[in-house]
A and B are shown apart, each in its own frame.
Chain A
Amino acid sequence: DARVTQTPRDKVTEMGQEVTMRCQPILGHNTVFWYRQTMKQGLELLAYFRNRAPLDDSGMPKDRFSAEMPDATLATLKIQPSEPRDSAVYFCASAREETQYFGPGTRLLVL
């Protein structure tokens, strides 16, 4: 049963600390998406990659967020420095065509 995996599942950190979230897409999927979910804004697209190349990161705060895909089996989302307003659930999704499969999410709380 192929699934998207995300680590860590939960993260509590203090304001100003660096946070790194990791995603392992489904084997064979060539597109990886990062989304953020909050009560106020709902589900928002942050960035996505196709064949490891960044295609769109317009939804991401550029000054503190960065997304990379060092190889086909790993995508990372980094926040440095973190702020309380970054508290949210961060989802990774992968796709081969248009159907996107979501991971379980990383629940981030920045104090």
Chain B
Amino acid sequence: IAGITQAPTSQILAAGRRMTLRCTQDMRHNAMYWYRQDLGLGLRLIHYSNTAGTTGKGEVPDGYSVSRANTDDFPLTLASAVPSQTSVYFCASSAQGAPNTGELFFGEGSRLTVL
């Protein structure tokens, strides 16, 4: 089934450890995004990429890094996890990036708990 694949589905992580959340899309979309979802705060943009080879900072980028080596993959790395990074992380893609973003297609999320 075409779409966004995220891994892992869930993970418990000790504070200070490094963690990479994987995201792959097979729709050949130009733009990809990482959001975190926290109760009462909705979805907040962490990092985005409008096209392969470029990335940008979103609303809450601190403590996170991304890379976009090719069209399909957009991994999110936590260099040294902290408990405040406990959240559900969603990867998304759209055919085009800003300013004509259009529909976002989301993965099923990765639930991360940092202890």
Q: Do A and B bind each other?
A: no
